[in-house]
Amino acid sequence: MAAATGPARWHRNLSAKIAAIPMITTALVVFIGGTAWTVLYSFTSSKLLPKEKFVGFAQYERLWSSSKWLISIENLAIYGAFSLIFSLLIGFVLAALLDQKIRFEDTFRTLLLYPFALSFIVTGLAWQWILNPDFGIQQVVRNLGWENFSFDPLYNPDIVIYGILIAGLWQGTGLIMCLMLAGLRGIDEDIWKAAKIDGIPMWKTYIFIIIPMMRGIFITAIVLIASGIIKVYDLVVAQTGGGPGIASEVPAKYVYDAMFLSQNLGQGFAASTMMLLTVIVIVVPWAYLEFGGKRRG
Amino acid sequence: MGNVTRASADVQVSPVPQEMTGPRGPKPRTVLSRRNIMIYGTLIMVSLYYMLPLYVMIVTSLKGMPEIRLGNIFSPPVEITFQPWVKAWAEACTGLNCDGLSRGFFNSVRILIPSVLLSIAIASVNGYALANWRFKGSETFFTILIVGAFIPYQVMIYPIVIMLREVGLYGSLTGLVIVHTIFGMPILTLLFRNYFASVPQELFKAARVDGAGFWGIYFRIMVPMSLPIFVVAMILQVTGIWNDFLFGVIYTKPDLYPMTVQLNNIVNSTQGVKEYNVNMAATILTGLVPLTIYFISGKLFVRGIAAGAVKG
């Protein structure tokens, strides 16, 4: 591993090398080995147990003709797009409000961030109760006199994904707010003074000066939100279990169901490889921009 | 941070006598200016919205079922009862077991303690080796580790099932502890590496001159000097592992399910009459550990997630 350039070189730093064995094993065996294994076996016809019968792209063809997978992808796209936009928007606006040198800043921040400490299961179950059509918001509004009021996202296949989005945003926006606040605090006071002297209104200063200066924070936030979106699983399991029918399925759940419920390993491997591909498409350009340029430059 | 909060207090007391005192003069800022009403009004509304689910959960858990069926979910309980809490903790059923969430709680504790200790021990040594004892290839392994953090878990789930099955740990708590250690490693290693790199090199060199080795420096200098980062790592891991659902459901058996998995099974089981008050009590119980840590740790929690978020 440590290329020996001399006979006595290999045991230099020996303790450090021994201490790093767990890290090396994780990196090589689990991360690289495991990923390669899954990608390789996605080309087999594995069912209950993995087996080396290669069938080309058959699993992928089946995957893309499965309505459950197509709905999963559609849900992920809708959830992802709205989650990204609203997280950034709400997170930034809240951070900007907290940055106005207000009193009780710590109290507000604590109240806005606490959902982030809760698990997706707890989040999902809490919102499942609030959105319950017989007892929750819908019933409360009906009791106030609007008899025909209808708000039952978790029981309506057309809008179920938005019901999950509400819970997801409640849980996650606090984190983005904290990131943005850190970004706003990093901006030089003089910029604000200069903008004030030039008579630029506050909202314009934010949009045309501050936000472009916070590019790095925005990119971090986007990467963070995006990697959270692709992982979304527990929230759906807790809130709807994928229902009604298959209306709120997501890719991560498709993988779990294929591997552990319907004994269809090949499908699970193919679906997880597709997830990996999505991440690569998002992360590689970002990593290139963030690290590739700087290191060499 | 400190001087920012102090500045905000000043602004409130003495309204801005800054350099800008030209012909227009300083704007008179009273407490009830339109701007303040807008800012505080919005923040208070949003905070209320964020508090709403917690409030509804607590209120529901303190009502009896008849009251839930009649009333609305936002109204405070007429008759407070703690029966749902008792039932959620000690009597609620999952499958054939009817000993409540307490089983899941103790399973989670048994998972949590070794996972947190092991993952922090390994990651801190990793970070130490990467910061102070670089060897050929160490940066490569570190890069793989960080890149690995972006790989969806679903890709690595099954190979790990096979590995654990080969060594006879699939379905055991030990297996789950190993899984948590593996998936906690990238972020924690990064955290420790960056922290140790900021410890003055002179200290390290002086200890080397005095003849201290790898472990001597780690235990006598690095660990005692880095207690804050150990606390941050602990907060990160305790909340992360306690809130985990996916690994718990995959790598353990029903008897050993952590609290989140058991909670989901209790609430979303299709048999029997739904007891919403018990469900909500169970939900709060499961959220209590991370919430307590959050409210106690305050700024350290924010620091932990910020460290987790901002790479490099």
Q: Do B70 and B107 belong together in one domain?
A: no
CATH of residue B274: 1.10.3720.10
- Is the model's pLDDT at B11 over the cut of 70? no
Distant-in-sequence, close-in-space partners of A74: CB < 8 Å, separation ≥ 6: none
Lowest mean pLDDT among A281-285, B216-220, B225-229, B261-265: A281-285
Report if residue B8 sits inside a domain: no
Q: Do B215 and B293 belong together in one domain?
A: yes
Q: Do B281 and B241 belong together in one domain?
A: yes
Report if residue B93 sits inside a domain: no
Q: Do B153 and B201 belong together in one domain?
A: yes
Average pLDDT over every residue of B74-98: 86
- Is the model's pLDDT at B4 over the cut of 70? no
Q: What pLDDT was estimated at residue B135?
A: 87
Average pLDDT over every residue of A99-105: 88
The verdict on a CB contact (< 8 Å) between B268 and A238 is yes
For residue A27, the 8-state DSSP code is I
Both tokens assigned to B306: 């910020």
Distance CA B107, CA A136 (A): 32
For the segment B42-62, what is each residue's pLDDT rounded down to a tens digit? 999 999 999 999 999 999 999
Cα three-residue angle A179-A238-A59, rounded to 5 degrees: 95
Q: How confident is the model at residue B97 (pLDDT cuts 50, 70, 90)?
A: confident
Q: How confident is the model at residue A1 (pLDDT cuts 50, 70, 90)?
A: very low
Average pLDDT over every residue of A135-156: 87
Q: How many CB pairs lie under 8 A apart between chains A and B?
A: 276
Q: What pLDDT was estimated at residue B27?
A: 56
Average pLDDT over every residue of B132-153: 89
Distance CA B217, CA B223 (A): 9
Q: What pLDDT was estimated at residue B29?
A: 56
- Is the model's pLDDT at B181 over the cut of 50? yes
| Three state DSSP letters for B41-68 | HHHHHHHHHHHHHHHHHHHHHCCCHHHH
Contact status, residue A152 vs residue A67, Cβ threshold 8 Å: no
Alpha carbon of A185 to those of A188, A257, B282: distances in Å?
Answer: 8, 45, 39
Q: What pLDDT was estimated at residue B303?
A: 75
The verdict on a CB contact (< 8 Å) between B150 and A115 is no
Q: How confident is the model at residue B285 (pLDDT cuts 50, 70, 90)?
A: very high
Judge whether B56 is closer than 8 Å to chain A, CB to CB: yes
Q: How confident is the model at residue A150 (pLDDT cuts 50, 70, 90)?
A: confident
Judge whether A289 is closer than 8 Å to chain B, CB to CB: no
Q: How confident is the model at residue B272 (pLDDT cuts 50, 70, 90)?
A: confident
Q: What pLDDT was estimated at residue A78?
A: 96
**Under the phi-then-psi rule, with left for phi > 0, alpha for psi from -120 to 50, and beta for the rest, what region is B68?**
alpha
Task: Give me the percent of chain A exceeding a pLDDT of 70.
Answer: 94
User: Which residues sit opposite B252 in a β-bridge?
Assistant: B171
For the segment A36-74, what is each residue's pLDDT rounded down to a tens digit? 999 999 999 888 888 888 998 999 999 999 999 999 999
Q: Do B55 and B127 belong together in one domain?
A: no
CA distance A25 to chain B (A): 9
Q: Do B239 and B205 belong together in one domain?
A: yes
Lowest mean pLDDT among A3-17, A259-273, B28-42, B218-232: A3-17
Contact status, residue A173 vs residue A87, Cβ threshold 8 Å: yes
Average pLDDT over every residue of B266-290: 88
Report if residue B10 sits inside a domain: no
Q: What pLDDT was estimated at residue A10?
A: 66
Please report the residues numbered 259 through 298 in chain B whose beta carbons come closer than 8 angstroms to any beta carbon of chain A.
260, 263-264, 267-268, 276, 279-280, 283, 286-287, 290-291, 293-295, 298
Q: Do B206 and B76 belong together in one domain?
A: no
Q: Which residues of B touch A287 (CB under 8 A)?
A: 147
- Is the model's pLDDT at A7 over the cut of 60? no
Q: What pLDDT was estimated at residue B291?
A: 93
- Average pLDDT of chain B to the nearest whole number: 85
Task: Give me the percent of chain B exceeding a pLDDT of 90.
Answer: 52
Q: How confident is the model at residue B275 (pLDDT cuts 50, 70, 90)?
A: confident
Q: What pLDDT was estimated at residue A8?
A: 53
- Is the model's pLDDT at B122 over the cut of 90? yes
Q: What pLDDT was estimated at residue B15?
A: 47
Name which residue leads in pLDDT, B277 or B9: B277
For the segment A159-175, what is each residue's pLDDT rounded down to a tens digit? 999 999 999 999 999 99
Q: Do B275 and B199 belong together in one domain?
A: yes
Please count the structural domains in chain B: 2
The verdict on a CB contact (< 8 Å) between B136 and A2 is yes
- Is the model's pLDDT at B12 over the cut of 50? no
Task: Give me the percent of chain A exceeding a pLDDT of 90.
Answer: 54
The verdict on a CB contact (< 8 Å) between B154 and A256 is yes
CA distance B79 to chain A (A): 18
- Is the model's pLDDT at A219 over the cut of 50? yes
pTM recorded for the entire structure? 0.87
Total Cβ atoms within 10 A of residue A109 = 22
- Domain range for B162 is 102-309
Burial of A287 by CB count in 10 Å (0-12 exposed, 13-18 middle, 19+ buried)? Answer: middle
Q: Do B186 and B256 belong together in one domain?
A: yes
With CA atoms as reference, report the closest residue to B279 among A246, A244, A135.
A135
Q: Do B72 and B142 belong together in one domain?
A: no
Q: Do B50 and B171 belong together in one domain?
A: no
Q: How confident is the model at residue A101 (pLDDT cuts 50, 70, 90)?
A: confident
Q: What pLDDT was estimated at residue B274?
A: 84
Report if residue B232 sits inside a domain: yes
Do you know the residue count of chain B?
Answer: 312
Report if residue B23 sits inside a domain: no
Q: Do B66 and B180 belong together in one domain?
A: no
For residue B71, the 8-state DSSP code is S
Report if residue B161 sits inside a domain: yes
The verdict on a CB contact (< 8 Å) between B290 and A117 is yes
- Is the model's pLDDT at B5 over the cut of 50? no
Distant-in-sequence, close-in-space partners of B202: CB < 8 Å, separation ≥ 6: none
